[in-house]
Amino acid sequence: MASDKIISISNIKVACGDCSLKSLCLPLGLNREEMHRLDQIIKRPRPLQREQFLYRAGDTFRSIYVVRSGSIKTYTTTKSGEQQITGFHLPGEIVGLDGVSVDIYSCNAQALEMTSICQVPFNRLEELASSLPGLQHQLHRLMSKELLADHEVLLQLGKMSAEERLAAFLVNLSNRSAQRGYSPHEFNISMTRTDIGNYLGLAVETISRQFTHFQEVGLLEAARKHIRIIDLPKLRSLAGGEAPCESNSNPKVQA
């Protein structure tokens, strides 16, 4: 089932040209002509350098973006200057939906490394969606999926211990790695421990300690940005029995 999905992903990816628009055009059976129309409205700005902003909180909202390669973090800031990372966005994923509600981006979006993106003007996308019901529905699914991902993190921040949070975070990254066709056991992360701590509501030191703890019990190896998960099942169980559906594979299909 899962592998089946993977295969169809790469098929469509090919059909879809180079692009990482699978998030948008993937599960919605657009035909070639429709895909072409979608492709028409997409721009490909020059890649972002590390630390460069894709947009800042307060900027006028015009487009959403699809990450093609690299990664982007989004974060809000409090009056007191503290920042809270709201998400990490990997290739194939969407950035910018936070801007829709008031035509102003509410987050800052900053590249964690050299990152290339597709730009999708939102008003054009809405126009197109009016005539392509499948596209419209897919757009809605994407937004809803963001909600689910946020609820997932809400659960982590609200109920989980430091150990469980980091486990859940790593499982999530593992799932997303697999979803992009890479190994779920070995991948590189682009964010610093500080970023992880910020995202998970924990101090850097706590993250670091948990990493060493996981290594001591033989769960994984973490050399800087390189992560190798040795006992994924155990990590999953630590993560609270498995995440419902984050931004990855489909859960139980019927009720």
Partner DNA sequence: CGTACTATTGAGCGCTCTCAAAACCAGTGG
Partner DNA sequence: CCACTGGTTTTGAGAGCGCTCAATAGTACG
| Strand arrangement, sheet containing 220-223 | 186-188, 226-229, 220-223
**Which of a copy of itself, DNA, none does 104 bind, CB closer than 5 to 8 A by kind?**
a copy of itself
H/E segment holding residue 176: helix 162-179
Structure tokens at 17: 């040209």
Which range binds DNA by CB under 7 A, 23-31, 67-75, 131-139, 223-231? 223-231
Picked from DNA, a copy of itself, none, the partner binding residue 194 (CB below 5 to 8 A depending on kind) is DNA
206 binds, among DNA, a copy of itself, none (CB under 5 to 8 A by kind): DNA
Task: Compute the radius of gyration of the chain from its Cα atoms.
Answer: 18
How many other CB atoms are found less than 10 A from the CB of residue 11? 10
CB of residue 40 to a copy of itself, shortest distance in Å: 19
Residue with smaller CB distance to a copy of itself, 91 or 99: 99
CB 64 within 8 A of CB 121: no
Tell me whether residue 61 or residue 214 sits nearer to DNA (CB atom): 214
Interaction of residue 163 with DNA, rule CB under 7 A: yes
Our finding on whether 155 is near DNA (CB under 7 A) is no
Q: Residue 131 or 161: which CB sits closer to DNA?
A: 161
Helix (H) / strand (E) containing 55: strand 53-55
DSSP assignment string, 129-168 = HHH-HHHHHHHHHHHHHHHHHHHHHHHHHHH--HHHHHHH
Q: How far is the CB of 97 from a copy of itself (least distance, A)?
A: 6
**Which option in DNA, a copy of itself, none does residue 209 bind, with CB closer than 5 to 8 A by kind?**
DNA
Per-residue b or e along 20-43, where b marks 16 or more CB atoms closer than 10 Å to that residue's CB: bbbbbbbbbebeeebbeebeebbe
* Number of neighbours of residue 129 by Cβ within 10 angstroms: 18
Q: Which of 201, 231, 232, 234 binds DNA (CB under 7 A)?
A: 201
- Report, in Å, the least distance between residue 246 CB and a copy of itself: 11
198 touches which of DNA, a copy of itself, none (CB within 5 to 8 A by kind)? a copy of itself
d(CA 169, CA 63): 28
Applying CB under 7 A, what is the total number of residues that bind DNA?
A: 22
Of the candidates 28, 44, 9, the one whose C-alpha atom is nearest the C-alpha of residue 180 is 9
Rule CB under 8 A: which residues touch a copy of itself? 56, 58-60, 76, 78-80, 82, 84, 86, 97-102, 104, 106-107, 126-127, 129-131, 133, 136-137, 139-148, 150-151, 153-155, 157-159, 198-201, 240-242, 244-245, 250-255
DSSP structural state of residue 43 = B
The yes or no reply on residue 230 touching DNA (CB under 7 A) is: no
- Name the residues that contact DNA, by CB under 7 A: 161-163, 192-194, 197, 201-209, 211-212, 222-225
